Amino acid sequence: MTEEFRSIIYRLIKPAEEEINFSIFDPVKQFNEKRTDDAGIAQSLNASFLIALSGQMNPEGKRARDFLARMTDSFLWGDIAKFFTIGLDLVHKEIKKVCEDDPDFSNRMKSLNNWMSHKENAEDIEETKEKIWSVFFPEANGIAAHKNEYINKLREKRTITILRLNDVPIENPMRQVLFTSNVLLTVPPKSKPIEELSLSRAIKENLKKTIHEPQTFFFDHPNQIGIELEKNEILYGLKGLEEAIEFEKEILSIQKDEKGTCLLSVSVTHPGLREIAKTYLKEIFIHSDVPKNIDVYVFTEDDTEKIIKEILSPAALRYLKRGDAKEDLSVFGVDGEYGRHYSFLKAIAAFWNVLVQPEIKATFKIDLDQVFPQKELLEQTGATAFEHLKTPLWGAKAIDADGQHIELGMIAGALVNQRDIHKSLFTPDVSFPENILSPDEYIFYSVLPQALSTEAEMMTRYKTSNLDGIRKCIQRIHVTGGTNGILVDSLRRYRPFTPSFIARAEDQAYILSTFSRPGANLRYVHKDGLIMRHDKEEFAQDAIKSAYIDKLIGDYVRIILLSSYAKVVNDDIEGLKNLIDPFTGCFISKIPVTIVFLRFCLKAASLFDQGKDEQGLDFLKRGSRQIMKSLNFANNEKSMLKQHVQKERMGWDLYYDTLSAIEEALKDKDPFAIELQKKAKSIIYKQRIG
């Protein structure tokens, strides 16, 4: 079967010399051994991988393989050459194994090879595209041609029957919901000299050292320290929440002096930023309007370490006889990949409920580039944002389309882009694409199933007898990073978490951790009309542009990690994908290594083809390192990924067991527990800024 695979690659990636010939890209035109400039060498290495992947069929195959072998001894280029050489071996091994284990995949590959062997088929672009996807990205098959049918099928699959509504729903979101968000900090943009920034001398001196540190973590669009206040995402999001609460006070019977609570975690791209993160936030607060309706608490890694050291570890020792608790409890923190702070922003609600404010019944996460469009919410849905959170669907018991009992302990809303809100709140933030595919999109085209899931799940309205929001509603699998929440009771019983190594799709991975738990299943309820306006394109363009390469690479790593993580979560991958396809499931692939190497190389080739040599070079250098690192982690013989998941599961179990032990001790008026509570409140209140 590897020969058939090589044949497919050769026919997909070759010169389109004849009029009737299908080719997504010609790498030969980028393969030039005589070039000595960095961009030229990089694109030749990249092209040589694509050529060599097709084996002996490509006339340039031997020359490409010889070039790769020769460059592995290069001091400057050896690592990238080895990356591609290892990739060739990994891809062919993966294809061979999947073909042996999965006759259906093998048959689809035979069908694609046979189709592409007949030149006359090249004229049928749509059918060719579908056949390519059937091998590399089956989650997209059929969607483009049967959009409405697929929307209805997915909506039917997500429809659930309510057995019992929550008889004690959220009544006062101001007092009962802990709002959370994450602050992602990075160094100033290169275009802004540090000395010219409106920051204190201490921060400037730190930045001068920190900018020379290697970047440790990579985020989509982190806040660049020193950016103008009007472009600062942190202030923008808090102002939006402040205005939403003010609107609630005008419409609902909420006391004027009542405040909401918003907790911010702070994650940094460079280690040196940890020591100035909170100081920076305090400085920008001084120069902006302090929220009057929100108590804002900020947590850095130092703060979470203090909670572990002074509260959780002593409690685990006292009540659970765990003298070794500190290491396991280290899962509770904010610095690192997205998964780490995402889990913290959920788990902290249980801590708050037990030790700080017992009234807290839930947490709701927002992203700081999103705001509640209260005027439109009231006009078009008949309810304010907080009224939507009071739905008895949140916490209801139900049966899904397969007859499985589920608990709707989580809630999810939707997004509308700022540029589209004039049309309607119910304008999908991801619409069905109509553009011509780029070379890498023939291999992986997530925007198509994403648009389907957005329309079928997130845009559903409860206004028919089949979906009335009382007896029938929608469960959500596809959620966004913000606009979702979880009840503290569900949090403590199901103990969901996103593994700390997950760098993208942390929101998608969160629910996966519950699939291996016995009993009823924890799920998200879709609350129609709970919509936030997404404004990132309006004020965060510089940050988005600077993080473009990071986001691309993160998307490839996401496939490797989620595909491996799924095997840890559930042995029945087919059953798992049946539940979470099309969008969330599309990142769990049978051939993740093949997909990632092809996507990566075709994207690099496209950048070079567009004359973006500097960007292509940066993409190739950083991407090869991060992809190799994730492959070593996920596919290691000792199963490092599995060990990490198991260790973190034990850590979160210990965290919740410790909180339960403290809670029981407080009921018994145990002096040690009472002292812990006093200390916990002292630590928490010191994190309040503004």
Chain center to CA of 218: 12
**Which of 19, 87, 20, 29 minimizes the C-alpha distance to 439?**
29
The CA distances from residue 518 to 347, 622, 656, in Å, are: 21, 41, 17
For 534-572, how does the pLDDT look when each residue is reduced to its tens digit (9 = 90+)? Answer: 997 766 666 667 778 988 999 999 999 999 999 999 888
Cα 35 from Cα 363, distance rounded (Å): 56
For residue 368, give the amino acid letter. L
State residue 547's pLDDT score. Answer: 74
**What is the domain partition of the chain in residue ranges?**
2-139, 157-590+636-689
**Which of 270, 268, 300, 269 minimizes the C-alpha distance to 282?**
300
Cα 74 from Cα 628, distance rounded (Å): 18
**Which of 388, 174, 185 minimizes the C-alpha distance to 294?**
174
State residue 637's pLDDT score. Answer: 63
For 402-436, how does the pLDDT look when each residue is reduced to its tens digit (9 = 90+)? Answer: 999 999 999 999 999 999 999 999 999 999 998 78
Chain center to CA of 286: 32
pLDDT tops 90 at residue 532: yes
For 583-633, how does the pLDDT look when each residue is reduced to its tens digit (9 = 90+)? Answer: 999 999 999 999 999 999 999 999 999 999 999 999 999 999 999 999 999
Three-state SS annotation for 550-568: HHHHHHHHHHHHHHHHHHH
Q: What is the pTM of this model?
A: 0.94
Cβ neighbors of 264 (< 8 A, separation 6 or more) are 180, 181, 182, 183, 234, 281, 296, 297, 298, 299
* Higher pLDDT among residues 276 and 254, named by residue: 276
